[in-house]
């Protein structure tokens, strides 16, 4: 397996607009926490935050972008940091360069300003599509000339540490040789008021790991690292900051927001990262702890530290008293600080600390100290949904023990051995397979509600939003189908997550002028709520990630799943894709022509309204490295490509993708296409059917489920059943009677000619 090293760093936060300024602030104990000057909120003067003192216009100038475009603050911060990292690594416009970004708020800083306008006149409609968490990633890719795989992770406050881990694994698995990884989040009224409802904001300066701590200070910022394969970096004479030697993700499976008493998730994340790096606790020189300054986090993280390190506990500190808690960007910002620590042989101080927490009796370093053996540093990030991650950065050594390099990846088969689906059709029942298409008497397609009480405790049911319910039902059906009780990992994709909860909190915040708010809908608004809820219900402490990049969301989760099985870190895992439609989200998307405004009368594909018919659904799969008697299909591959230059480029992508699996187009028995009734963009599919797919058997699927970001999960569910049963449902008409075995199925989907994906299954 390839070694992965850091060759470029970019950062902007409240303590500096670049790496040098950040380093200087750390050694001078200069905090970035102050009053609110930029964010327009009624809480100015009430709370302290780690705010970057640059206006929207000043950030546009610093990012060197066209001021006429619709920029969110999140995207601008990300562009600034990513450009720095690429310049530092001396790379530009590399076609195979991957981008793995992270965000929790996405474009909320603009959405909360214009949300009521979006619902009415939509004068600011150009900001509607920038709400999506994947928007900032795409803006970074376009501004930095990144042409390889791109995706976005959102696992609350552990998001960007997970992006580093995923990027490192992409390189180690050979999926790319170089990746820009990190995250970006801007301050917003949504998060400020959300954390205020949880009563965990400190109105003064936060005091991580201090007995008198009363909460956190929010912050904003962005940071990105350039990761490269070690041999390539050496050959090109790159400066190497550190090696990414260990990483792990685990789930606390205790509570949606609070940590367990003994810190099971944090303990497992740190322990498993050490195992990956093949290090002992005594090898770690310094720990940059998550250390939020909240009562629960610092106590349980401290217990986890003692549990793992015992007498070998090295110097540790939280640097959130410098930057504030930067949410999805926290992991990578603190990774940069950890790399500064490693390269300068220092441990930055835990400023504001005075009193030891009596229950744990451990003291963070509150002065700048020189490290005795600066070989390995560890950093932690923990988030809502019990999502806990740790990464280890090591000083690069030319020779490393053979035992570390002994492991290797093998191209093992990946099987679908269980599935469950909640959709606008009757898909929960296993007695039928799309034989009778449900009549639609609305402008968009909504799920056929299962009897939730058959799956979920009624007392818990009352507190769950629709998307959590349908996610749990389809996940339980998949596990029941596979005959497993608890998977080795839970990997999910969602474009928008819990939209109902986001809308509830956003509307309440605006209508009540940031007052009279309750925390429930804020807590459930995080994108990883479904994955976290499944883990919580199953007491599952294993790997748990959520991808949120528009129509790459499910595909990214599928790629991660295949990698995890190949890494032999799982034998049976749970994979899912889900999204919900609401009246408000449908209405808003009609304002920019994404969704149709009127009911469909007759054939969807002959409807001449602008846009697609919106839909929703949740499809889950159990994937295994072993074929079972219940196996539905074998997953051969998945590929994503962003903004192809032409129809010919799409054709080339398909033929190259198939050739990687030693296949030609004519070897494919069935092609499932993502036509959605938008005549402007359905032309892409029609051109394929008139060219390389001219002799192919093709069917569509979105007339059954509608258009939503993870609809390809529904197509995968459909393809798996078609392969196993060797039957195309009669509802598909003339093309439903294959004359031969359906051995190989290709799924091709795109949305508005931006994000394109391919999934290949075989018998």
CATH of the domain at 259: 3.40.47.10
Q: CA-CA distance, 146 to 224, in Å (whole number)?
A: 14
Tens digit of each residue's pLDDT (9 = 90 or more) over 516-525: 999 999 999 9
478 & 381 share domain: no
Number of structural domains, the chain? 2
| Residues 234 and 277 both lie in one domain | yes
Same domain, 390 and 443: no
Q: Which residues pair with 298 in a beta bridge?
A: none
| Same domain (yes/no): 362, 473 | no
Within a domain: 582? yes
Contact 478, 627 (CB under 8 A): no
Instruction: Report DSSP letters for 311-336, one per residue.
Output: GG---EE--HHHH-B-GGGHHHHHHH
Other beta carbons within 10 angstroms of residue 516's beta carbon come to: 10
Strands, E assignment, 463-502: 489-493
Q: What's the pLDDT score for residue 403?
A: 45
Tell me, yes or no, whether 702 lies in a domain: yes
pLDDT value, residue 404 = 45
What pLDDT is attached to residue 121? Answer: 97
Do 172 and 197 lie in one domain? The reply is: yes
Rounded to the nearest 10 degrees, the angle between the axes of helix 108-119 and helix 499-511 is 80
The strand ranges marked E within 186-315 are 221-229, 242-251, 286-288
pLDDT confidence of residue 406: 40
Answer with the one of 365, 385, 405 that is the final residue of a domain.
405
Q: For the chain, which ranges sit under pLDDT 50? A: 399, 401-408
Q: Does 30 fall in a domain?
A: yes
Query: Between vectors from CA 673 to CA 415 and to CA 612, what angle results, nearest 5°?
Result: 125
3-state SS of 12-73 is EECCECCHHHHHHHHHCCCCCCEECCCCCCCCCCCCEEECCCCCHHHHHHHHCCCCCCCCCH
Query: Position of tokens 């972008």?
Result: 65
User: What is residue 733's predicted lDDT score, i.e. its pLDDT?
Assistant: 67
Whether residue 274 is found in the same domain as residue 340 = yes
In a domain, 444, yes or no: yes
User: Exposed e or buried b for every residue in 233-259, given b needs 16+ CB within 10 A?
Assistant: beeeebeebbbbbbbbbbbbbbebbbb
Residues with catalytic function:
157, 290, 325
What letter does residue 347 receive in the DSSP assignment?
Answer: E
Q: For residue 673, is it within any domain?
A: yes
Q: Which of 602, 722, 706, 620 is nearest to 670 (CA)?
A: 722
For residue 495, the model assigns a pLDDT of 97
Taken as a whole, the chain contains a residue count of: 763
**At how many degrees (to 10) do helices 330-344 and 19-27 cross?**
70
Domain co-membership, 293 together with 441: no
Assess if residue 294 is contained within a domain.
Answer: yes
| Contact call for residues 501 and 465 (beta carbons, < 8 A) | yes
Q: Are 350 and 372 within 8 A, CB to CB?
A: no
Residues 401 and 420 in one domain: no
For the CA atoms of 336, 548, 144, 149, what is the dihedral angle to 10 degrees?
100
State which of 355, 380, 405 marks the end of a domain.
405
Indicate whether 731 belongs to any domain: yes
pLDDT value for 488: 98
| Alpha carbon separation from 238 to 20, 271, 677, 690 (Å, rounded) | 19, 31, 49, 48
395 and 419 assigned to the same domain: no
272, two tokens:
């498993």
Q: Which parts of 352-465 fold into alpha helices (H)? A: 402-405, 458-461
Q: Are residues 698 and 597 in the same domain?
A: yes
Q: Is 64 left (phi over 0), alpha (psi -120 to 50) or beta?
A: left
Looking at the fold, whether 669 and 716 belong to one and the same domain comes out as: yes
Distances (CA, A) of 429 to 480, 699, 742: 13, 23, 23
**Pairing mode, if any, of strands 698-700 and 316-317?**
unpaired
Residue 512 belongs to some domain of the structure: no
Please give the residue range of the domain that contains residue 677.
414-497+548-762
Question: What is the pLDDT, as a whole number, of residue 407?
Answer: 45
Conformation bin of residue 652: beta by default, left when phi > 0, alpha when psi is -120 to 50: alpha
Tens-digit pLDDT profile for residues 660-712: 999 999 999 999 999 999 999 999 999 999 999 999 999 999 999 999 999 99
- Considering the domain architecture, whether residues 555 and 580 belong to the same structural domain is answered as yes
Q: Please say which residue of 405, 433, 456 terminates a domain.
A: 405
């Amino acid at each position: 397996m390839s070694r992965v090293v850091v060759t470029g760093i970019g950062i902007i936060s409240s303590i500096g607009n670049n790496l040098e300024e950040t380093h200087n602030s750390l050694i001078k104990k200069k905090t970035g926490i102050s009053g609110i000057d930029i964010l327009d909120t009624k809480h100015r003067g009430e709370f302290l935050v780690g705010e970057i003192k640059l206006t929207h216009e000043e950030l546009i100038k610093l990012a060197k972008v066209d001021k006429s475009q619709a920029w969110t603050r999140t995207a601008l911060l990300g562009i600034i940091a990513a450009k720095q990292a690429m310049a530092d690594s001396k790379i530009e416009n590399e076609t195979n360069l991957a981008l793995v970004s992270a965000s929790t708020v996405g474009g909320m800083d603009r959405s909360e300003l214009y949300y009521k306008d979006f619902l009415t006149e939509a004068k600011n409609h150009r900001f509607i599509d920038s709400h999506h968490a994947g928007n900032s990633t795409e803006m970074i890719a376009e501004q930095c000339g990144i042409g390889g795989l791109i995706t976005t992770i959102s696992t609350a406050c552990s998001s960007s540490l997970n992006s580093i881990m995923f990027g490192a694994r992409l390189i180690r698995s050979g999926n790319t040789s170089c990746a820009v990884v990190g995250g970006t989040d801007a301050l917003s009224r949504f998060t400020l008021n959300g954390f205020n409802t949880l009563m965990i904001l400190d109105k003064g300066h936060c005091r991580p790991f201090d007995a008198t701590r009363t909460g956190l200070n929010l912050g904003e910022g962005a940071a990105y690292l350039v990761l490269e394969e070690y041999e390539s970096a050496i050959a090109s004479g790159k400066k190497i900051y550190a090696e990414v030697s260990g990483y792990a993700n685990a789930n606390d499976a205790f509570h949606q927001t609070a940590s367990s008493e003994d810190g099971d998730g944090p303990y497992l994340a740190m322990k498993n990262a050490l195992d990956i790096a093949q290090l002992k606790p005594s090898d770690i020189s310094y720990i940059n702890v998550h250390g939020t300054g909240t009562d629960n986090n610092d106590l349980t993280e401290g217990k986890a530290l003692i549990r793992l390190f015992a007498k070998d506990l090295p110097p540790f500190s939280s640097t959130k008293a410098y930057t504030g808690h930067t949410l999805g960007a926290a992991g990578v910002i603190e990774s940069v600080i950890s790399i500064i620590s490693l390269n300068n042989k220092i441990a930055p101080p835990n400023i504001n600390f005075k009193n030891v927490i009596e229950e744990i009796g451990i003291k963070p370093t509150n002065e700048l100290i020189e490290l005795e053996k600066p070989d390995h540093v560890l950093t932690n990030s923990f988030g809502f949904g019990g999502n806990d991650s740790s990464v280890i950065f090591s000083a690069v050594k030319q020779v490393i023990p053979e035992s570390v390099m002994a492991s290797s990846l093998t191209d093992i088969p990946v099987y679908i051995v269980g599935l469950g689906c909640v959709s606008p059709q009757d898909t929960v029942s296993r007695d039928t397979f799309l034989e009778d298409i449900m009549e639609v008497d609305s402008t968009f397609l909504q799920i056929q509600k299962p009897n939730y009480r058959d799956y979920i405790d009624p007392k818990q049911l009352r507190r769950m939003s629709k998307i959590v319910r349908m996610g749990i039902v389809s996940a339980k059906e998949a596990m029941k189908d596979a005959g497993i009780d608890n998977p080795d990992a839970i990997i999910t994709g969602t474009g928008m997550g819990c939209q109902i909860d986001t809308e509830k909190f956003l509307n309440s915040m605006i209508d009540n002028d940031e007052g009279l708010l309750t925390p429930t809908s804020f807590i459930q608004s995080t994108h990883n709520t479904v994955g976290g809820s499944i883990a919580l219900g199953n007491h599952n402490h294993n790997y748990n990630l959520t991808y949120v990049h528009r129509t790459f969301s499910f595909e990214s989760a599928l790629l991660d799943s295949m990698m995890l099985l190949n890494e032999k870190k799982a034998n049976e895992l749970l994979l899912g894709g889900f999204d919900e439609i609401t009246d408000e989200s449908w209405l808003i998307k009609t304002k920019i022509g994404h969704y149709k405004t009127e009911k469909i009368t007759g054939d969807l594909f002959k409807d001449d309204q602008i846009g697609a018919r919106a839909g929703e659904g949740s499809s889950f799969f159990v994937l295994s490295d072993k074929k079972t008697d219940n196996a539905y299909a074998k997953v051969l591959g998945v590929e994503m490509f962003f903004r192809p230059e032409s129809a010919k480029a799409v054709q080339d992508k398909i033929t190259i993708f198939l050739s990687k699996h030693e296949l030609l187009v004519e070897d494919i028995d069935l092609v499932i296409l993502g036509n959605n009734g938008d005549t402007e963009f359905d032309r892409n599919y029609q051109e394929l059917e008139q060219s390389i797919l001219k002799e192919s058997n093709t069917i569509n699927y979105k007339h059954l489920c509608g258009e939503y970001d993870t609809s390809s999960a529904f197509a995968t569910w459909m393809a798996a059943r078609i392969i196993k049963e060797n039957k195309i449902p009669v509802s598909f008409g003339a093309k439903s009677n294959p004359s031969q075995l359906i051995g190989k199925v290709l799924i091709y989907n795109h949305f508005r000619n931006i994000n394109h994906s391919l999934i290949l299954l075989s018998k």
